[in-house]
Chain A
């Protein structure tokens, strides 16, 4: 059975953002069906569908809704449209081309959670998308899909758009809540979870745009259709993004479980590499989830490739389970960026480290300091004054920040750790080789131009002495060969 896209069926159609076009294609029928059910049945349905959050963490939406206390008076629904994870853009595509699908999803989720007000937190850089969404919302209000007594069901829901102002951390659910309350977007310590005490101290549900856009289709096409798509643990369609030097960069919908190779080379997806470039590495789920090797992977220590035993990691299936087998954190946002063979990975390391250093909110010490520390080390390696011990320091640093090691409030440092650690670990041989081939004098001069800290580095002939990994002791400068 050929897969029929549902989330992206209107993308590229002229006039797809208008209510008339959306209704002509069966729009708001899912919501009408939902409003005839009881909220509890609706939560049960979404639980049975095993709709897992599309925003990155993959937490089942139905389960999240069922954590709300039963005797609540006020419930808030927050829609997370603060899409900032490089290189993700699926929410942008969805809002740009089909805002009513999101609004219908909000109506369904709002009814299921008995929400009184829905806030759409859209990132500040989405200016055009804000105007499109606001116009769609005005249309929906005029047609009676929001406001009082929606479609004669007696259910009231206010929906309001709130614009962010440029902060990656506001995509974290409690960071989003803090930001919505008018404060800086510092994530909160959990528990209490937002379901119990969230926005304005009331029970709150935070869902991603794509998660909500799935809801109308579950209702109109039914549970059986939904469960027939995807793999055993990951159900439903997913919007995959592919960017970088491929022939067809863009957003494509496929059942969960698409392999990374298919996403890059499939004629319906990335369409292969541009100009015959070869893949060196892929970040398959946003930067935070870690990196896959795209070249052959010499497992034997001398670096000799054995074609039978060595493999690249592009067969990783992009669903909620398989990426863990490749040392990744999870599916993330299923947005892949391809790094070609021609790129120096030291530049990639700097770029990734800078992203997390800039976007760390500064609340937890080990994230605020650690990300900047790694950024400085990465700059030093790029400047040609790297030491072998730097790679060990990065590994050790990234192991000691984050929620998984129990030290941070939110998951941002985990993302930073996975991105940086997998990069250093999987491509260690390349970094070592770059460090080994640094010229003894020139790079140090260059490094001193960019980073004063390089003056304090003990470097002998461009490389540090080999050192047993995992300690912070500096290597004594070895001047005997100079």
Chain B
């Protein structure tokens, strides 16, 4: 998804995008003992890198490749196979709408039209202010609450086009009610001894 081909011989430095900080790389390293091979850390590493940068930049993919001792193509292979990974900046909140059969029967199509009208973006697009991105997915496995959508991690159930304004205006619309585990989170920015923010 959202893949853009770049000729790697002529790629400029800024096209490589942001880099992963040492703290993020350390977090990825902390997954090494969990698996007998380095390559198996691929999905956790990509999850954490995407969490840290908001998307997977080419530079981050190269860093992951170096860390996992695999060719960069292997990282790109995984990134382009799984729908969860973005290769260009996405919004702060990502709406993932279910479009499978049950949700479609229960009015998912109208919700999709309403979201796209309201945000003025199509699938895999981001609003100019960088707040929202929108995509559809096959079944989210919440068919009893159809139609349903995810805003980041939070599942919204029985969404109707009329509810949409209320849900999108709610500042807590991506906050989970249950306690989170930080296993797959990027390390939080911490203040360094020099007073600056180290990400």
Contacts and interface: CB of A to CB of B under 8 A. Distances in A.
B177 to A, nearest CB: 8
Interface in A261-288: 283, 287
Chain A CB within 10 A, most for which of B42, B100, B141 = B141
Contacts of A283: 101
15 contacts: A85-B139, A89-B141, A125-B96, A125-B137, A128-B155, A128-B178, A132-B178, A138-B181, A164-B82, A164-B84, A165-B43, A165-B46, A166-B83, A181-B37, A351-B101
Contacts of A229: none
B179 interface: yes
Contacts of A85: 139
Q: How large is the interface on A (under 10, 10 to 19, 20 to 34, 35 or more residues)?
A: 35 or more
A347 B40 CA distance: 40
3 nearest CB pairs, A to B: A182-B42, A127-B153, A165-B82
A403 interface: no
A167 interface: yes
A468 B46 CA distance: 53
A183 B77 contact: yes
A161 interface: yes
B183 interface: yes
A245 B101 contact: no
Contacts of A335: 143
Contacts of B146: 87, 243-244, 249
A375 interface: no
Given A128-B155, A130-B184, A89 B179 contact: no
A228 interface: no
Interface residues of B, number: 51
A165 B84 contact: yes
Main SS at interface, chain A? mixed
Interface in A135-190: 135, 138, 160-168, 179-185
Interface of A: 83-89, 91-92, 123-128, 130-132, 134-135, 138, 160-168, 179-185, 200, 241-245, 249-251, 283, 287, 335, 337, 339-340, 343, 347-348, 351-352, 355, 358-359, 361
Interface string B39-77: 111111011000000000000000000001010001001
Interface in B75-92: 77-78, 81-85
B184 A86 contact: no
A65 B42 CA distance: 28
B144 interface: yes
Nearest to A96: B178
Contact of A184 (B81, B138, B181): B81
Interface string B121-159: 000000000000000011111111110001011110000
